[in-house]
Structure 1
């Protein structure tokens, strides 16, 4: 069971009334965001200045609608209806000026929740200054996740909630085999909470304290990064 990297969208997905997203910038990151949201059943509009990228996301059925436009032009954004969306994801990461101007335009256009991709910490600070509600660093997060899986092989997947907290999917260690969650008292002993136990075919969400663990299964736990690192991982 792979954990999707939802930290760039958490705020939007928590709001049950929000079913529409606009993604500005249809490079690899923007396409991935469009595809996942569309797969989950959300209405997604994709935009890019590159007409070929716009045509491609429509052909690949990654969006509900796609529009070719220059996002640094306020009039173009307004005519496309971008300002009517509750959440807009600015997925322009490699063009600093375009990213910042677009974020400013969208925020000043009245969009409540603006999530922007940054390529560096300086870029992120500038995006914050012009009103971005949330900054994401996909390259950094991917690198951190890779480092974690290389150094902690029992971690199958990791999702960072913020700088201090994460959810991880791990193989159940030998030390936990045959014991119940109540016997392990993971919250008291390690400072983590178990969200689910199972395998790729079926996970039991919010398992009972009497749930007996098996080293052949996996579990998903939430906690601080420090608490997660205290867990006895399989070698």
Structure 2
């Protein structure tokens, strides 16, 4: 779910004229995935970890531009490695709470403008926020919530929660909508929902015309209250 603090963080990222230099601290599954994605997008990524084997592996796999073995709880080591010169630092030490909190504090005190930290629990998340993390992610919690939703409402492919009461969802076209046009469905008056896009040949058409005929097995994207969305996906 996106809250106001998250919105402020992402607005800050967009407002930055640079935000192109990234560092990832902690090269477990999460940190490696973040570093790999950034690298594939063409960004230089500085990676650090206390584990020499992980550092060597990420260099061998050519995921990181630079990688160092160091103790991130030591500010001098972070400064020497150039961590404080980065635009955005991702602290991916989720399973070692003390090290994660100290590292996050060190990075913020070092002057890094955008710090993202991974939390392993709600208490951990609150502590990271207290020491200055600009954005905290809780992957296990988010993945668990998404799985539960998919089990309860298998028609929902993706959900983006705007707030506790409203969402945007990508959903399989219900059987009863098959062959009907958008105009015939009258989604706004019948369900209180607005249709944003429909899929066609593997691509989405944004703001499709009212004459568009929906097909079973394709997807559509709608926005509305969670209560009204529940009516659509029962």
Q: Bin the TM-score by the shorter chain.
A: 0.7 to 0.9
Assess if the C-alpha contact under 8 Å between 1:175 and 1:232 holds in 2: no
Deviation of the 1:134 alpha carbon: 1.2
Deviation of the 1:133 alpha carbon: 1.1
- Equivalent positions of 1:161-200 (< 5 A) are 166-184=167-185, 186=187, 190=191, 192-198=193-199
Q: Tell me, yes or no, if structure 1 residue 34 matches structure 2 residue 35.
A: yes
Match of 2:159 in 1: 158
Match of 1:82 in 2: 83
Counting matched residue pairs gives 226
Assess if the C-alpha contact under 8 Å between 2:75 and 2:106 holds in 1: yes
Q: Computing the radius of gyration over CA atoms, which structure comes out larger, 1 or 2?
A: 2
Deviation of the 1:125 alpha carbon: 0.9
Mapped partners of 1:62, 1:205: distance in 2: 35
Residues 131 and 198 of structure 1: is their aligned pair in 2 closer, same or farther, counting only changes over 3 Å? same
Q: Which moved further from structure 2: 203-212 or 78-87? A: 203-212
Deviation of the 1:143 alpha carbon: 0.8
Q: CA RMSD in A?
A: 2.8
Q: Which moved further from structure 2: 54-63 or 143-152? A: 54-63
Match of 2:131 in 1: 130
Match of 2:44 in 1: 43
TM-score (norm 2): 0.82
Residues 159 and 59 of structure 1: is their aligned pair in 2 closer, same or farther, counting only changes over 3 Å? farther
Residues 161 and 229 of structure 1: is their aligned pair in 2 closer, same or farther, counting only changes over 3 Å? same
Deviation of the 1:167 alpha carbon: 4.1
Unaligned runs of 5+ in 1: 1-6
Higher helix share: 2
Unaligned runs of 5+ in 2: 1-5
